[in-house]
Chain A
């Protein structure tokens, strides 16, 4: 009995007792002895020296069967993105399991243990990714949200402990790759990425890091944010920088403008200096520096010449040190040429004159703070969403349909989007019609997202609470009809341009595959230019994906939008689509890995070879009629391959046989 020993040593003794019982137990009875072990683990995590005790025993915990019967049993399929969230869970058992798992990976990475399902290299890669993704949790103090967790210091301690054993150089390398991958998708919400870059800059200074290749990658990101041009390379602060500008000659100003534009289009990130520079040069009429500072191409320059007054006013009203990304939004907005749509310029004028209702203003302040007026925040958000429609993300909210709708309107119906924003902003209500029947969001109870999301872009913060409710109400109105409600909801909710026919791969009542062959044939005949007579997709079309995890197991239904169908540089037919999920690069298992760059994707597009895409598709819209005899027939082997991939993943337990109704048939699972 180590009664008087320090906590860690005493608990180590207790753990050994629990561990021994777990070791002894036969596999079918392991679950009974896992809980006691996890209970002791969760207490060890919180005492000094406890993590070391666990590190020593991690291989034994693994071998004893601590992970049997849980998601952690197959270590190769675990996702580094989920670790941070699990560690902040209220469920102490889950936290204990995750910590034990990280220490098991550590043991395997260090070659102190082996696991037939996990290579040392994979373990190491996993840990560095986890650390990279959670960098902010172990360098700086805790954020407000962290402080509200059950164990504020726990996550930090765990990450630091792992980092000490893995080495930080590796982490930075992975983090740089990760940031570039995310930036390639040009998210509207750039705050998390900027935060990560800031943390890296601090880490490099503090740790005195001088590793070669990693340092270069980090510096490229850090300089884009903190010193993209000659005059601000030393990060002097905005006031000093503006003082320097007054002493520059015209050539110097052009050099500054080009430097900013290069960094911005390289990363999608806008430095605070860039914002200050734009505000400084915008009113100067003699030298035209704005098009250069925004890095405009021919279309953008054309728009700038035609709408110069509006653009200068937008810079003045929206671009600031607190909203620098509005500059990138404006650049891309000009570049898209949509200012030539007649309603757009006056609609933006309306946006600039808008007074928000107190409720809306409050939500924006809650989400973004009050450094600038909520109207400025929203206007900046409007420019970003119109400039980067595919950069809209749903945040951590189950509102994929709303995010998708905002994105599709920004792409396809920008003046309609501005109309919705005006309604929500000025009246805190949005009016839509469902088959002629008016639906007013102010009269409706909350939808899928019970509280209004605040971890999204300003347009989403303002609009999603309304859209979410209206979408839910439309679903409710369809409920008595039976069948898949999106058939009616999607065209009514988004616009006339959503095709009126709708095909679903499963029988809504039983959740089982139904007429999958017809489903696939119609899809190829409609979307694939090889079989539809070479017709391009005209409007973005909402579609439903059966999302699977990296082990190809069904996770849930998810809303996406199909954007275009084209051959990539290798001649493979690909579907390019928009995924409202914040990061589109996902491993759906069975070799289906969604690509976000390298296969002809535009910023924000995700893509898959068309057959792989179809293997996860469960709902799409199609024109009810088609000119007869158009296009080539769809070969049988294509459908067979898709069918095979589908039944090996999400449809594995949905084969069309007679049998019991499955839990999670389509009407019950709310897409998220």
Chain B
């Protein structure tokens, strides 16, 4: 950090992400990284402003952290991970003198509370229940399939299992059989159970200031947990007005004054929008990177503008481009998971390597030869990046990657 504008806010980022630190360091605001003590040496070596904090400790100490940051002169705290969302809520309720922020952050941390709150706000959600043990999961699986008038022996419709406090796809399992239930580790309880919705799944990234959406991106999933691209196809983008309304409902239901949200939706065959879940932090799967590739702005820096109470209208307007129209192309990525049980080396398939849309990959040589069965979404071995003009061609290309061997 060399130069910053003293007229602008002083930002604390909660959690350790080199990409976020890199982006904020390149921005024009003073900042400090709040991270566990193991980061200290690294920060010292690289001149990264740093405050040690152990987020594993009980939340009772959040006031202590808030006081420390206040004494430091920090204006606002930005959470980087699911685990720091409620810390940021607690800290910001002190820094911004708004006690409501703590309660709001708790809603984002508990998937069941979140779903009920959305339902109360008039947002359409699927059938869901809480599970505290495997028995709850079996019961839900059976009940859902009874409702669907399945007979004994018919293959079950799947249900979705999401650990309460895990982020993104990490704790997300698809359950079809009682054996799947047996494979759930104890530490993933309690969890949210949801019926399966057939339809088009997508995510939204929304930058919000003064209860108003400043930028709304739609990330189209090709296959959940494998591939995503931005901006979406025209077929999905034509629902943008409705989607914007849904986000506005979320802003009301969750009382969001400012910040960044990352909800997921289903568009079912009967053209209804179902709310899945929402997170108050940057998305996984490098969605911000894809947005930067397509639009040219840095998502983390955008978040700083949303959180900073000293940000001006002019700088916000100058920062964000116009959705869809200003995109230079469509950017997508594919999460590679070996298809073979035994692999010896990385070999980018020829069809991928020679495709004009293929940009680069971040895959490395296999660490071990035996491939374990993929247990949850999001456990890919690395990402391959694509960029091109035609969203349909990109979508089909991403889909085609699922049939290729990157590890042989």
The digit string for B1-29, where 1 denotes a CB below 8 A from any CB of A, is 00000000000000000110110011000
**Smallest CB–CB gap between B355 and chain A, Å?**
10
C-alpha gap A643/B42 in the complex (Å): 32
Q: Contacts of A90 on B, CB cut-off 8 Å?
A: 345
Contact (Cβ within 8 A) B22 A28: yes
Interface residues of B in 345-378 (CB under 8 A from A): 345, 353, 356, 359-362, 364-365
Whether A29 is near chain B, meaning CB under 8 Å from some CB there, is yes
A26: which of B22, B356, B360 is its contact (CB, 8 Å)?
B22
**Interchain pairs with CB closer than 8 A, number:** 53
Minimal beta-carbon separation of A93 from chain B (angstroms): 9
Interface 1/0 per residue, A25-48 and B, CB below 8 Å: 111110010011101100100000
Known: A10-B356, A24-B26, A39-B361. A32 touches B388 (CB 8 A): no
With A1-B329, A36-B385: A28-B21 Cβ-Cβ less than 8 Å: yes
Query: Cβ of A412: which chain B residues have Cβ within 8 Å of it?
Result: none
Does A18 interact with chain B (Cβ within 8 Å)?
A: yes
Known: A1-B329, A3-B388, A27-B46. A39 touches B19 (CB 8 A): no
A148 to chain B, nearest CB (A): 16
Known A1-B389, A36-B385: A18·B22 in contact at CB below 8 Å: no
Q: Does B48 contact A (CB under 8 A)?
A: yes
Q: Is the CB of B360 within 8 A of A36?
A: yes
Interface set, chain B 315-365, CB cutoff 8 A to A: 329, 345, 353, 356, 359-362, 364-365
User: A1-B329, A28-B22, A29-B22 known; A35 and B388 CB under 8 Å?
Assistant: no
Q: How distant is the Cα of A424 from the Cα of B327 in the complex, in angstroms?
A: 73
Q: Is B172 an interface residue when CB atoms closer than 8 A count as contact?
A: no
- Checking A1, A28, A39, A43 against B18 with a beta-carbon cut-off of 8 angstroms, the contacting residue is A28
| B395 CB-CB contact with A under 8 Å | no
Pick the contact of B42: A28, A39, A43 (CB < 8 A). Answer: A28
Q: A1-B389, A28-B48 are in contact. Are A17 and B359 (CB under 8 A)?
A: yes
Q: A1-B388, A3-B389 are in contact. Are A26 and B362 (CB under 8 A)?
A: no
Tell me whether chain A's interface is mostly helix, strand or loop, or mixed.
helix
In whole angstroms, what is the CA distance A21 to B105 when docked?
33
Q: B interface, how many residues as a size bin?
A: 20 to 34
Distance of B48 from chain A, by nearest CB (Å): 7
Q: Confirm or deny: B293 has a beta carbon within 8 angstroms of a beta carbon on chain A.
A: yes
List, in ascending order, chain A residues with CB within 8 A of B21's CB: 26, 28-29
Q: Please report whether the interface of chain B is mostly helix, strand, loop or mixed according to DSSP.
A: mixed
Complex Cα gap A26–B25 (Å):
8
Docked complex Cα distance between A39 and B333 (Å): 15
The docked-state distance in angstroms from the alpha carbon of A237 to that of B329 is 68
Cβ distance B297 to chain A, nearest Cβ, rounded Å: 13
Set of chain B residues within 8 Å of A40, measured between Cβ atoms: 359-360
Are B362 and A35 in touch, CB under 8 angstroms?
A: yes
* Partner of B359 from A3, A14, A29 at Cβ < 8 Å: A14
Question: Nearest-CB distance from B258 to chain A (Å)?
Answer: 26
Chain A residue with the shortest CB-CB distance to B328 = A1
Contact with B along A83-104 (1 / 0, CB 8 A): 0000000110000000000000
Chain A residues near B389 (CB, 8 Å)? Answer: 1, 3
- Is A36 a contact partner of B22 (Cβ separation < 8 A)? no
**Closest residue on chain B to residue A1 by CB atoms:** B389
Interface readout for B272-291 with A: 1 if CB under 8 Å, 0 if not?
00000000000000000000
Beta-carbon nearest neighbor of B345 in chain A: A90
| A3, B356: Cβ atoms closer than 8 Å | yes
Nearest residue, chain B, Cβ from A28: B46
Mark out the residues of chain A between 339 and 396 whose CB falls within 8 Å of any chain B CB in the assembled complex. Answer: none
User: Across the interface, which residues of A come within 8 angstroms of B19, CB to CB?
Assistant: 29, 32
Residues of A within 8 A of B365 (CB): 91
Alpha-carbon distance A4/B388, docked complex (angstroms): 12
User: Separation in Å of the B162 CB from the closest CB of chain A?
Assistant: 29
In the complex, A18→B360 CA distance in Å? 8
A40–B387 CA distance with the chains assembled, in angstroms = 14
In the docked arrangement, what's the CA distance between A29 and B329, Å? 26
Closest to A24 in B: B26
Q: How far is the CB of B73 from chain A (nearest CB, A)?
A: 23
A26 surroundings in chain B (CB, below 8 A): 21-22, 25-26, 46
What is the minimal beta-carbon distance from B389 to any residue of chain A, in angstroms? Answer: 5
- Which chain B residues border A91 with CB–CB below 8 Å? 365
- Contacting pair A36 B359 (CB below 8 A): yes
Distance to closest chain A CB from B217 (angstroms)? 19
Which residues of A are in contact with B by a Cβ distance under 8 Å?
1, 3-4, 10, 14, 17-18, 24-29, 32, 35-37, 39-40, 43, 90-91
A-B contact pairs, 7 of them (CB 8 A): A3-B356, A17-B293, A26-B26, A27-B46, A28-B18, A40-B360, A90-B345
Closest 5 CB pairs of A and B: A36-B360, A29-B22, A28-B46, A39-B360, A29-B18
- Given A28-B48, A40-B360, 11 more A-B residue pairs with CB atoms under 8 Å apart are A1-B389, A3-B388, A14-B359, A17-B293, A17-B387, A25-B22, A26-B46, A28-B21, A28-B22, A29-B19, A29-B21
